[in-house]
Amino acid sequence: MPDDKKKGAIHSSSEGGTAGIYPAPDPSEFLVAPSTSTESNNINLNLFLTAYMCISDIRFKFDSSFVLPAVQAEMQAFSSLRKQNPQVMGSPISIFGHADPSFQGNFEVGSQYAKSGDDYNKTLSGRRAIAIYALLIRDPSFWNTLYTKHLGSDIWGEDSIRIMLDALRHGGSSGSGGSSQNSSDSAKNSRVHDIANDSGQRQQLFLQYMTFLCGDLKLDKSADFLARNAGPDQKGDVQGCSRFNPLLLFSSEDEAGFKQAFADKDETTLRGERDPRNAVNRRVMILIFKKGSQVLPAKWPCPSYKDGTAGCIKRFWSDGNTRRSTHTSGAERKFELSADTFACRFYQRISGDKSPCNSTSPPPPPAPRPCSPTISIGHVVRGNPYVPRNASTADGMPDSIPPSKTYEVEVTVANWTAECLGKHIELSIANSSSDNGTATISPAQIADNGTFKVTITGGDQTKPGNGGKLKIQAKLNGAVKAESPGFTVCAHPIDLINAFAGDVNGGGVGMRVTVDWHSDSGTFTELDEAEFSEVVKPGPRNSPPFATLASSRQVNSGFLASNLTGLVDTHTTGRPSAGPAGSNNFDQLFIFKCHRCGANNKNQPNSGFNIIHEVFQVSTTWKHHVTKVGATVTIGANTSQPGTAGFTSPDHTLP
């Protein structure tokens, strides 16, 4: 519906304020005349609003400009309005404070009170606006000025110090001072008194409190405001609109009653009825303009927040005083219905007739958009060999992690919206058990958009037949939102280390070597469900001196448990003839299986070797020996980096 579209989208709404996107204006088109003479067409490119944030009276005490702790919610809303809308982030703002029309007992324009009422409310609305400005740019000096120049029922003073200290101590529950009596009250009062009387301590407290209210929201006075801080007294950046632009005007009967109540000094009626009904009129508006907009302070119609009302009155509608007056019998007048309660023509133009902020009734709550982030969780990638971080995928290796080792896994969160504020995503390892194995995850919570690295630590090993059942799980409010692919906790054999163990010099010649290896978990006994096998491939062979081989084929030893110790391998060949000189070569590597994760015939890292038998002549004697060295070896589908070896058998005299 076009009318709804004109209202834009509400970003957030609470008792303390409303934030929203103002609808884009219809695209400008310029109707011009060509010229056969000297005429031209002046085109002025307009200022327009893209978004707004309204801060309600409830975030201030009545007739005071001190900003109460609960405004933290609106600061968060403003921050997320900026973050979630590219047309708002970085767009310049201008702040407009508004007071209510009642002053003393008499509003009537032309009466003895009218001028002083306008002036008083101009100052008060300007003070509220500059208080918000100072908060947004985190400049406590403005607050210090408000503090030292008291106005009306200001609670700047010890009351405000107490509220700030309480807020900082309690993380911002209410600012009420009526806490339970206890022994620390006198110490507290003395501290409040100290701060109240020391400008330096005060400004320090202001700054802490501002940071508490704003979190990561901080604006730059020279970049984020409409006049770029170029004018005197924030002209163009901060305005007090006095009581000129009320949203609600009482019926003439009600107004007469309140006037009478004032004459009767009937504070109950004034404070209990008139002022609460007027609350909608007391507000601070943050107007956000099209990105790149900038105004010249000297040309900007509004006076600064410190100036008097003359500049405002100049911009009134020709019937401005009628518009802002209470003149309707029997019924209230509301801006959203009649659009005729603002005296200031300029403000009505720039703030937008259709803005939900220019309405006495709270805007409908934003369409219920539940917090429903999109979460994706990566694999627990098992490197081969294991590396502590960011393993690259080993081809065909099931997702798994060694016990007591860590892997980083990426968790990506998108669509973490304003509705998610105060919630968090809980990360845990699902299906942990003595059969499935156990693991832990850190951190256990995420509460933002982005890609986060979480660390998984392997715990108890998964029992054979239960591989791939552990999962990283992300929950929101107890409901599972995402899971990683399943993984296993298991130790895998790595490295192959040989040492010379003994000479062989009989029918065959060669040597025996010890065979050792490691567990990638660091604990050898954890390899109890892995098996390994050597794979040997005959290479070039000179025949004679070496006997011919029936066929050149790959030989597997058969699998042995990976947690064996004291294993010895033998590298022998049939006794070669005494000459001629020649060699007989073999390649060797090791593969493994894991009964926990199901890895099958995977290369055991660092287990490649060359075995070289040589026949050579020393003076007139023919001799043989065999050498084993680590080497990068490829046999079939497996390639292994060099294992640890580098020795030669004693020489054997031939024949």
Partner 1 sequence: MEDYYTVQQGDHLSKIAKDNGFTDYTVIWDHPNNSDLKKLRQNPNILLPGDEVFIPDMEQKQESGATDKKHTFTVDKKTLKLRLVLEDIYEKPIAGAQCALLIDGQVFQLTTDGNGKLEQEIPLDAKEGTLTIRGDQTPFANEVIPIKIGHLDPIDEISGQVARLNNLGYSAGPLDGSDADAFNSAVQEFQCDNNITIDGICGPNTQSKLKQVHGC
Buried/exposed 121-137: b ≥16 CB within 10 Å, e otherwise = bbbbbbbbbbbbbbbbb
Residue 109 as a binder of partner 1 (CB under 8 A): the answer is no
Residue 354 as a binder of partner 1 (CB under 8 A): the answer is no
Q: 405 in helix, strand or coil?
A: coil
| Token couple for 585 | 């070569």
- Tell me which residues in 47-86 interact with partner 1 (CB under 8 A): 47
For residues 22 and 8, the answer to whether their CB atoms sit within 8 Å is: yes
Strand 621-630 and strand 609-618: pairing?
antiparallel
For residues 629 and 526, the answer to whether their CB atoms sit within 8 Å is: no
Q: Which of 99, 159, 104, 163 is nearest to 127 (CA)?
A: 99
- Tell me which residues in 2-41 interact with partner 1 (CB under 8 A): 27-37, 39-41
Residue 304 as a binder of partner 1 (CB under 8 A): the answer is no
Residue closer to partner 1 by CB (options 37, 620) is: 37
Q: How many residues in the shown chain lie near partner 1 by CB under 8 A?
A: 40
DSSP secondary structure of 342-370:
-SBHHHHHHH-TT-GGG-SSPPPPP----
Which listed range, 151-159, 205-213, 311-319, 375-383, lies at the site for partner 1 (CB under 8 A)? 311-319
Per-position x/- string for 314-333, each x denoting binding to partner 1 as judged by CB under 8 A, each - no binding = xx-xx---------------
For residues 238 and 95, the answer to whether their CB atoms sit within 8 Å is: yes
How far is residue 100's CA from residue 353's CA, in Å, rounded to a whole number? 19
Which listed range, 286-294, 385-393, 515-523, 628-636, lies at the site for partner 1 (CB under 8 A)? 286-294
Residue closer to partner 1 by CB (options 38, 548) is: 38
Q: How far is the CB of 483 from partner 1 (least distance, A)?
A: 45
Residue closer to partner 1 by CB (options 308, 579) is: 308
Q: What residue spans of 152-231 are helical by DSSP H?
A: 158-170, 185-196, 199-214
Q: How far is the CB of 361 from partner 1 (least distance, A)?
A: 21
How far is residue 516's CA from residue 498's CA, in Å, rounded to a whole number? 6
Q: How far is the CB of 296 from partner 1 (least distance, A)?
A: 5
Residue 349 as a binder of partner 1 (CB under 8 A): the answer is yes
Q: How far is the CB of 48 from partner 1 (least distance, A)?
A: 8
> Which helix (H) or strand (E) covers residue 611, if one does?
strand 609-618
Residue 353 as a binder of partner 1 (CB under 8 A): the answer is yes
| DSSP 8-class letter at 418 | G
How far is residue 281's CA from residue 56's CA, in Å, rounded to a whole number? 9
Q: Which of 48, 55, 50, 64 is nearest to 17 (CA)?
A: 55
Which listed range, 43-51, 75-83, 163-171, 183-191, lies at the site for partner 1 (CB under 8 A)? 43-51
Residues 6+ apart with CB under 8 A from 371: 416, 417, 419, 420, 423, 476
How far is residue 554's CA from residue 538's CA, in Å, rounded to a whole number? 7
Residue closer to partner 1 by CB (options 17, 92) is: 92
Which listed range, 128-136, 345-353, 387-395, 449-457, lies at the site for partner 1 (CB under 8 A)? 345-353
Per-position x/- string for 430-469, each x denoting binding to partner 1 as judged by CB under 8 A, each - no binding = ----------------------------------------
Strand 602-603 and strand 488-489: pairing?
unpaired
Q: How far is the CB of 235 from partner 1 (least distance, A)?
A: 12
Q: How far is the CB of 247 from partner 1 (least distance, A)?
A: 17
Residue closer to partner 1 by CB (options 91, 325) is: 91
Q: Which residues are at the interface with partner 1 (CB under 8 A)? A: 27-37, 39-47, 289-296, 299-300, 314-315, 317-318, 339, 345-346, 348-349, 353
